[in-house]
């Protein structure tokens, strides 16, 4: 049977995209909470 | 939380090394069998997540602890994520080995029902405005939906399916070579840590959102 590396890459690539997207969603929602936002303003 | 995240990253990297660097090329399927090191731990995490939903839902109904409700909510969300991954990676694995992306056999159908039931659980929580009522209804659904887990696992024994029977988590001696079992175990640990990290992060977020809304 051929190795079908493209299917292996597709499976692992999809998993990486989904898991990173979920992690980023959690981080973004946490930062959006009041008192959690990071100020980008420069201090004098 | 950062420590758990760091350990999880190291474990996931070790899992990749085991899956691609240590585990041998499988004789019948070739390298496409390496999808197993992603697919099987994903379904393990889904089972674990929904078992936690079951226990936390019972605790919530018995004691009314908000923490138990938040744990059930977080675990259901992560469980749905990993069930979706299980279905998607199984489909990708199925195309080159079975010749089809999808077939309505007992295992694939029962795992789809599991996915839809817990998706419904999350939708139910979002639909009901009263948080206490929503938590109670969700807890009941979380308990009822858990009965589908043994159905998914044993479907390959109870019906004739295209899906192979389990190589692990089955009665009797194992038939897999030790190095493949070891690679699978490292990935089980890595995915379990990822589950703990995601659920802890989600529980904390739910608690902070509730505090902000109060």
The pLDDT tens digits of the residues spanning B49-85 come to 999 999 999 999 999 999 999 999 999 999 999 999 9
Cα dihedral B77, B80, B85, B91 in deg (nearest 10): -170
In tens, the pLDDT along B187-202 reads 999 999 999 999 999 9
Q: At what angle do helices B36-63 and B178-213 cross, to 10 degrees?
A: 40
Q: How many domains does chain B have?
A: 1
Mutation test of the interface with chain B: which of A12, A18, A25, A37, choosing the one with the most B Cβ atoms within 10 A?
A12
> Residue A6's CB: how many other CB atoms inside 10 A?
11
Mean pLDDT, rounded, for B89-96? 95
Residue B115 within any structural domain of the chain: yes
CA angle B41–B36–B106, rounded 5-degree value: 85
B209/A33 CB distance under 8 A: yes
For the segment B105-159, what is each residue's pLDDT rounded down to a tens digit?
888 999 999 999 999 999 999 899 888 999 999 999 999 999 988 888 888 778 7
How many other β-carbons are positioned within 10 Å of the β-carbon of residue B76?
28
Q: Answer yes or no: do A12 and B208 touch at CB < 8 A.
A: no
Nearest CA-CA distance, residue B64 and chain A, Å: 26
How far is it, in rounded angstroms, from Cα B89 to Cα A30?
Answer: 29
Nearest to A1 among B28, B42, B209 (CB): B28
CB A31 within 8 A of CB B116: no
In this predicted complex, what is the ipTM? 0.89
According to the model, what pLDDT value does residue B169 have? 62
pTM score of the predicted model? 0.90
CB contact under 8 A, B81 and A18: yes
Task: Quote the pLDDT of residue A37.
Answer: 53
**Does any domain span residue B59?**
yes
B contacts of A22 (beta carbons < 8 Å): 81, 198
| Domain presence at residue B112 | yes
């Amino acid at each position: 049977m051929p190795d079908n590396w493209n299917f292996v890459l597709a499976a692992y690539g999809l998993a990486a995209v989904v898991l990173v997207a979920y992690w980023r969603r959690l981080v973004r929602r946490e930062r959006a909470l009041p008192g959690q936002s990071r100020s980008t303003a420069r201090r004098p | 939380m950062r420590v758990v995240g760091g350990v999880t990253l190291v474990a996931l990297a070790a899992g990749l090394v085991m899956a691609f660097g240590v585990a041998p090329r499988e004789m019948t399927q070739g390298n496409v069998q390496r999808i197993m090191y992603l697919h099987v731990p994903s379904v393990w995490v889904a089972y674990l997540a929904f078992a936690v939903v079951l226990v936390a839902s019972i605790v919530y109904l018995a004691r009314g602890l908000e923490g138990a409700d938040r744990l059930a909510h977080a675990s259901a969300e992560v469980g749905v994520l990993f069930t979706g991954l299980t279905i998607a990676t199984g489909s990708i694995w199925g195309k080159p080995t079975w010749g089809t992306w999808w077939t309505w056999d007992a295992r694939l159908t029962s795992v789809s029902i599991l996915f839809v039931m817990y998706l419904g659980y999350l939708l139910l929580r979002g639909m009901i405005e009263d948080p206490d009522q929503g938590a109670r209804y969700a807890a009941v659904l979380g308990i009822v939906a858990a009965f589908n887990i043994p159905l998914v696992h044993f479907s390959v024994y109870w019906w004739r399916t295209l899906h192979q029977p389990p190589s692990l988590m089955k009665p009797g001696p194992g038939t897999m070579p030790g190095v493949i079992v070891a690679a699978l175990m490292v990935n089980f640990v890595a995915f379990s840590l990822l589950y703990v990290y995601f659920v802890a992060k989600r529980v904390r977020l739910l608690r902070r959102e509730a505090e902000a809304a109060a």
